[in-house]
Amino acid sequence: MATNSTKKPRSRRKRRQGIKYKPVSFKLTVGQKKALESYCKTNNVTPVRFMKSLVNTHVERYRNDSPPPSYVTENQLKLFDSE
């Protein structure tokens, strides 16, 4: 058995860090639960997916990783525009 010593070792990439999830629980009344189920059935979405989309739209501006909004006004100088 001859081994090939000229073979390059495979370069290993760093494993991506997994996403951490935290459980959240709350209570709904019977009427709220029925309304949620009826909404989800008519719009073909699961209750969890529906609630996640609501939370994401409301907390998007409070995330740390989003860039700050740009406050460019109309009367700002246009020094670097390609005109």
pLDDT in tens, the chain (83 residues): 556 667 766 778 888 888 899 999 999 999 999 999 999 999 999 999 999 999 988 888 787 775 666 777 776 666 666 65
Q: Which pLDDT score is estimated for 4?
A: 61
Residue 44, in any domain of the structure: yes
Torsion sign across C-alpha atoms 60, 62, 67, 70: positive
Q: Radius of gyration of the chain from Cα atoms?
A: 26
Residue 46 tokens read as 């699961």
Site of tokens 């989003």: 66
For the chain, the residue count is 83
Give 31's Cβ-side CA count (13 Å radius).
0
Q: Which pLDDT score is estimated for 10?
A: 73
Reported pTM: 0.53
Residue 53, in any domain of the structure: yes
Q: Which pLDDT score is estimated for 12?
A: 81
Into how many domains does the chain fold?
1
Residue 69, in any domain of the structure: no
Q: Which pLDDT score is estimated for 67?
A: 64
Residue 35, in any domain of the structure: yes
Residue 22, in any domain of the structure: no
Residue 66, in any domain of the structure: no
